[in-house]
A = this chain, B = another copy of it.
């Protein structure tokens, strides 16, 4: 039986999602709870491996295990998990479903507090006292929308990921007084890509970089430039959208024929 699980967590206390030796991770907490419930080791596969300190409202993972009532499974998991992780939904899915490969789009938000420090956002937003040029930041956001080679905006090499072309559907600055939210929705994001894009937009806001320089980075992908990997604690994985089964089947077929 395959299950799809949607969950939220405060990333502050964890060394990221993915299992690590000698560090506390979200995956370990969940797999430990599943071991207690099913009395045998269960491996989970997540949509996104969020970094240390990154938060999630709508992370997704799947796993295979013997059949159980999904409602009861949700309650058992929440009973076993710590207070900073919460399972929102457990659904039985087709054996074909894959939490990572079937992703159609991911949505992230990055929170910046540009006013007086707010204790309730400690480790939950990036605190910035500098004056920011919001118009310039918006201009920079617009640059990213569309299909580009994001080679200048991530930390994986072309050897690891030969194809660094991704499509950004939404990149927008939302303001509510001193609170800024950078919204990113894209077909996929390479390693540290959201944080590096946020770092660029932020540096443009501070006047440390011009929009023209960012355009140059986008038009001529380059791995040798210093990238500003902004503080992870302002980052939230908001939502994972999945393609339907037919589209996923087509994607797998293209993959078999060596296309991308």
Instruction: Give 1 or 0 for each of A106-141: 1 = CB within 8 Å of chain B CB.
Output: 000000000011111011100000000000000000
Residues facing B in A224-249 (CB within 8 A) are: none
Is the C-beta of A84 less than 8 angstroms from some C-beta in chain B?
yes
| Contact count band on A | 10 to 19
Are A117 and B78 closer than 8 Å at their CB atoms? Answer: yes
**Distance of A144 Cα from B9 Cα, bound (Å):** 38
**How distant is A37 from chain B, measured CB to nearest CB, in Å?**
19
Are A122 and B10 closer than 8 Å at their CB atoms? Answer: yes
Instruction: Give 1 or 0 for each of A193-216: 1 = CB within 8 Å of chain B CB.
Output: 000000000000000000000000
Which B residues touch A88, using CB under 8 A?
116
| Closest chain B residue to A81, Cβ basis | B119
Give residues in A with beta carbon < 8 Å to B: 8-10, 55, 78, 83-86, 88, 116-120, 122-124
Which B residues touch A78, using CB under 8 A?
117
| Closest chain B residue to A78, Cβ basis | B117
9 closest A-B pairs by beta carbon, nearest first, are A83-B122, A86-B119, A8-B119, A86-B117, A10-B119, A84-B119, A9-B119, A88-B116, A84-B122
Which B residues touch A116, using CB under 8 A?
86, 88
